Amino acid sequence: SFGGTEYDVVIVGGGPGGYPAAIKAGQLGLKVACVEMRGALGGTCLNVGCIPSKALLHSSHLYEEAAHGFGPHGIKADNVRIELDKLMEHKQKTVTGLTSGIEGLLKKYKCDYIKGKGKILKAGEVQVTDLDGNVAGVIKTKNIVIATGSVPTPLPPVPVDEEVIVSSTGCLSLKKVPKKMIVIGAGVIGLEMGSVWRRLGADVTVVEFLERVTPGIDEEIAKTFQRTLSKQGMKFKMGTKVVKGERVGDGAKLTVESVKKGEQEVLDADIVLVAIGRSPFTAGLGLDDAGVKMGPRGIVDVDDHFATNVPGIWAIGDVIRGTMLAHKAEEEGIAVIENIVGKKGHVNYDAIPNVIYTFPELACVGKTEDEVKAAGIKYKIGKFPLMANSRARANALTDGLVKFVTEADTGKILGVHIIAHNAGEMIAEGVLGLEYGATAEDIARTCHAHPTMSEAFKEAAMAAYDKPIHF
Ligand code: FAD
Ligand code: NAI
């Protein structure tokens, strides 16, 4: 049992939504516990998501650079090899270093970390089953925050075994570089993980139901992005649906069908990655019995303050509406605690950046041109190609552009979309601009250091406001 202590808040789930909520609660002097069933803190993101994938993306990029990319700089490296076990060891060390760091942070801020699966019996009561499967007791608490995250969405005709037919989790730990890999879904996971294994030597084909990659991203940017990835050697089968997939010997066979023509084809692969999206995870959480109202597609329904319909039960992160991103979950985790203590926690959903960590990276924030057009808003576009940026030229990293979408009458920034090797860092300026209600002129008149990639950002703003200088 839990010693009869009554908590102010119990957070179920220790991911990038749950653990910052726990820390914030500790900082505000609340009696708080975080229940996590994975055996480690950090959730999907730190254990099998953002962090291990970024380690593999960077390692594989370094390999590709050394093997093929130094040419323009007059550097030749012979006999470049991959030691896959070392590469995986770096990934794993990064993960365990960071997850144990979070354990330290919870201690520092006096949050109790309870290892086990939480089940909500009713408002005010969370039952914990320990990692061995035994009921450890019931925690009494004034508030419960559901932060149970998400899991890969299954594709029923292609069952995952995490060996040959893998989800992102299996794909982060392949034992060898596959000769042929098929990725189902041209979304973020498919393109990031596809890039990792392509760089390491796999022949990668992406099968996508739609006629475009990365749904939700500005169409023009997505087209440019797909062209760039194709140039790197990634193959695409667009407008193609998967009818069946099965393990055959050491590999897999996949039957696919053209959406328009209905023609079928059988593809072979050593590894198939299923990456068609993620679904909220609430299995075994007891939400039905607790009377918590659900929304569409298995999300937990919340109001603008992250409260569910049951007083004292709140929810944040991948398990509620909105994009499934770690930083979005973190913002919500902090806001929900502020709301619990009666402060005004708030998340500005118009200014959440979205980054795809390929090379070059794709990063965006705010509205796409397509959205603005569909909404009938009078808008202006300002674009600047990296080809015209001196730093990009010096570094031989000229693939990409910066695109501004602004309101025609006021010049206010509505969205920024970037393809650049460092787009994920560059986008922060766009996020800040949106948060501050900046206009393109504000950015255009702000001095940016020379020679930097961020001058391309400024020049795209100049293009939206008036004219760029270097294009
Ligand atoms: P989660 O991180 O899923 O955490 C929920 C936790 O709750 C889990 O640890 C789970 O074990 C635990 N849990 C569930 N039910 C219970 C229960 N009943 N009792 C106790 N514990 C429970 N996002 C980005 O922003 N940037 C990226 O670069 C990025 N890369 C990604 C790469 C991959 C391969 C994947 C799969 C995802 C990536 N994401 C990325 C998405 C990101 O991981 C999620 O948006 C984020 O983890 C959501 O945080 P969360 O706290 O809501 O949920
Ligand atoms: P996604 O939603 O980004 O992409 C899924 C893709 O699969 C879409 O293009 C969709 O049209 C396609 N698809 C769906 N059903 C299909 C089918 N039956 N056959 C063929 N294609 C099909 O989902 P993904 O890539 O699985 O990632 C899940 C989420 O994880 C992302 O939406 C994102 O929120 C998060 N994530 C974020 C990252 C980042 O921020 N860098 C990295 C990885 C994941």
Residue-by-residue DSSP string for 204-273: EEEE-SSSSSSTTS-HHHHHHHHHHHHHTT-EEE-SEEEEEEEEETTEEEEEEEETTT--EEEEEESEEE
Average pLDDT of span 437-454: 98
User: What is the Cα 374 distance to its own chain's centre?
Assistant: 26
Unique residue bearing structure tokens 């220790």: 14
pLDDT-based confidence at residue 268 (cuts at 50, 70, 90): very high
In tens, the pLDDT along 351-396 reads 999 999 999 999 999 999 999 999 999 999 999 999 999 999 999 9
First to last CA, the chain: 69
Do 333 and 24 touch, CB atoms closer than 8 A?
Answer: yes
pLDDT-based confidence at residue 2 (cuts at 50, 70, 90): confident
318 lines ligand 1 (CB under 6 A): yes
What are the distances in angstroms from CA 106 to CA 3, 5, 35, 40, 373?
A: 20, 18, 12, 12, 46
The pLDDT mean for the chain works out to 97
Q: Where are the beta strands (DSSP E) in 330-426?
A: 354-356, 361-366, 379-385, 401-407, 413-420
Please determine, for residue 3, whether its predicted confidence score (pLDDT) is greater than 90.
no
For ligand 2, what atom is nearest to the CA of residue 213?
Answer: 9
Average pLDDT of span 427-434: 98
- The angle at the Cα of 89, spanning 87 to 93, to the nearest 5 degrees, equals 125
For ligand 2, what atom is nearest to the CA of residue 152?
Answer: 26
Give the C-alpha separation, 22 to 316, whole Å.
Answer: 12
- The angle at the Cα of 132, spanning 129 to 134, to the nearest 5 degrees, equals 40
Give the C-alpha separation, 266 to 161, whole Å.
Answer: 20
**Backbone region of residue 298 per phi and psi (left: phi > 0; alpha: psi in -120 to 50; beta: other values):** left
In tens, the pLDDT along 40-53 reads 999 999 999 999 99
Q: Which of 68, 73, 346, 450 does the annotation list as catalytic? A: 450
455 lines ligand 1 (CB under 6 A): no
Strand bridging mode 125-129 / 313-315: unpaired
Q: What is the pLDDT of residue 88?
A: 98
In tens, the pLDDT along 70-87 reads 989 999 999 999 999 999
Q: What is the pLDDT of residue 4?
A: 80
Question: Phi/psi of residue 455, each to 5°?
Answer: -65, -30
Do 31 and 4 touch, CB atoms closer than 8 A?
Answer: no
Unique residue bearing structure tokens 């959480």: 285
Residue-by-residue DSSP string for 70-115: -GGGT----S----HHHHHHHHHHHHHHHHHHHHHHHHHTTEEEEE
Average pLDDT of span 431-450: 98
Please determine, for residue 239, whether its predicted confidence score (pLDDT) is greater than 70.
yes
How far does the centroid of ligand 2 lie from the alpha carbon of residue 138, in Å?
37
CB atoms within 10 A of CB 447: 7
Average pLDDT of span 255-260: 97
pTM across the whole model: 0.98
Q: What is the pLDDT of residue 412?
A: 98
CB atoms within 10 A of CB 88: 18
Give the C-alpha separation, 15 to 41, whole Å.
Answer: 6
Q: What single DSSP character describes residue 321? A: S
Percent of the chain with pLDDT over 90: 98
> Can 450 be counted among the known catalytic residues?
yes
152 lines ligand 1 (CB under 6 A): no
pLDDT-based confidence at residue 216 (cuts at 50, 70, 90): very high
For ligand 2, what atom is nearest to the CA of residue 207?
Answer: 20
- The angle at the Cα of 321, spanning 316 to 325, to the nearest 5 degrees, equals 70
54 is in an annotated binding site: yes
Residue nearest to atom 9 of ligand 1 (CA): 43
What are the distances in angstroms from CA 126 to CA 43, 90, 320?
A: 19, 37, 20
Q: What is the pLDDT of residue 1?
A: 54
Do 319 and 150 touch, CB atoms closer than 8 A?
Answer: yes
| Closest ligand to residue 297's CA | 2
Please determine, for residue 274, whether its predicted confidence score (pLDDT) is greater than 60.
yes
Unique residue bearing structure tokens 């007059």: 74
183 lines ligand 1 (CB under 6 A): no
Do 333 and 17 touch, CB atoms closer than 8 A?
Answer: yes
Average pLDDT of span 410-430: 98
Radius of gyration (Cα) for the chain, nearest Å?
24
In tens, the pLDDT along 132-156 reads 999 999 999 999 999 999 999 999 9
Q: What is the pLDDT of residue 69?
A: 86
Strand bridging mode 401-407 / 379-385: antiparallel
Q: What single DSSP character describes residue 283? A: T
In tens, the pLDDT along 163-196 reads 999 999 999 999 999 999 999 999 999 999 999 9
208 is in an annotated binding site: yes
Q: What is the pLDDT of residue 71?
A: 87
Do 109 and 98 touch, CB atoms closer than 8 A?
Answer: no
